[in-house]
Amino acid sequence: SSNGSKEKEKTLAMIKPDGLLGNYTERIKLVILEYEFSILKETTTQLDQDRASSFYTEHSSKSFFPSLIKYMTSGPVLVMVLEKENAIADWRTLIGPTDSSRAKVTHPNSIRAMCGVDSEKNCVHGSDSLQSAQREISFFFEEISSDSCNGKHFMASK
Ligand code: RTP
Ligand code: MG
């Protein structure tokens, strides 16, 4: 900002089904706290096919999409809103590259190296941009948005 103060940023972090199943939650949260993120909100939820497909809609035409949806619906996920300066990029750095088997070689201290398995089962998610972070936080935590309050449902009830 113009006065040089450092502004906090929010990102959406998720522990995917393999992370929860493998009991990695505590270890991942230790990393989160060690790197001085604040956990503003968290909830555990089971995604169904529609919600998983909607969350990963950008990948709907990819060959790996059916497998991704099967994976993401295979058990509950833990979603968290993390906050700190530069949260979006810092969380992406901490989780490491998409392919966990490669992460174990190139980024051995990353979360995906610690608890992921391969290019699909990589145990965690992080928003990849400010726009994604806003969309994904709303997806899980602000489902009754101000838009819908001001939209046709609200108007129709008048
Ligand atoms: P995420 O969105 O989950 O944080 O992961 P990412 O940005 O590192 O990777 P992205 O390209 O957005 O892919 C989303 C998720 O799809 C699965 N995937 N499988 N089999 C494959 O080649 C493949 N590629 C991606 C992974 O679970 C990946 O995190
Ligand atoms: Mg992604």
> Tell me, what CATH number does 106's domain have?
3.30.70.141
Ligand sitting nearest the alpha carbon of 111: 1
Question: 127: burial class by Cβ within 10 Å (0-12, 13-18, 19+)?
Answer: buried
Task: Residue 48: give the domain boundaries.
Answer: 8-156
Pocket test of ligand 1: the residue of 80, 98, 131 to mutate, having most ligand atoms within 8 Å of its CB, is 98
12 CA distance to ligand 2 middle (Å): 11
By percentage, how much of the chain surpasses pLDDT 90?
85
- Nearest ligand for residue 14 CA: 1
Q: Domain count for the chain, please give it.
A: 1
Is 2 inside a domain boundary?
no
| Summary mean pLDDT of the chain | 91
pTM greater than the 0.80 cutoff? yes
Would you say residue 34 lies in a domain? yes
Distance from C-alpha of 45 to C-alpha of 79, rounded to nearest angstrom: 8
Taking the CA atoms of residue 130, residue 132, residue 71 and residue 15 in that order, the dihedral angle to the nearest 10 degrees is 40
Whether 157 shows a pLDDT value over 50: the answer reads no
- Confirm or deny that 122 is annotated as ligand binding: yes
Query: Does residue 3 fall inside a structural domain?
Result: no
Closest-CA residue, ligand 1 atom 18, reads: 120
Q: How far apart, in Å, are the Cα atoms of 11 and each of 55, 102, 112, 150, 158?
A: 15, 24, 17, 26, 36
Residues flanking ligand 1, CB < 6 Å = 59, 64, 68, 98, 119-120, 122, 125-126, 128
Does residue 124 fall inside a structural domain?
A: yes
Annotated catalytic residues are 125
Best of 122, 129, 132, 139 to mutate for ligand 1, by most ligand atoms within 8 A of CB?
122
Asked, for residue 76, whether it belongs to a domain, the answer is yes
**Is residue 27 part of an annotated ligand binding site?**
no
> Which three-class secondary structure state does DSSP give residue 124?
strand
Residue 49 placed within a domain: yes
Protein residue whose Cα sits closest to atom 4 of ligand 1: 125
Q: What is the pLDDT of residue 149?
A: 45
**Does residue 138 sit within a domain?**
yes
Query: Span 75-101, mean pLDDT?
Result: 98
Confidence at residue 6, expressed as pLDDT on a 0 to 100 scale: 80
153 Cα: distance to centroid of ligand 2 (angstroms): 32
Say if 1 falls within a structural domain.
no
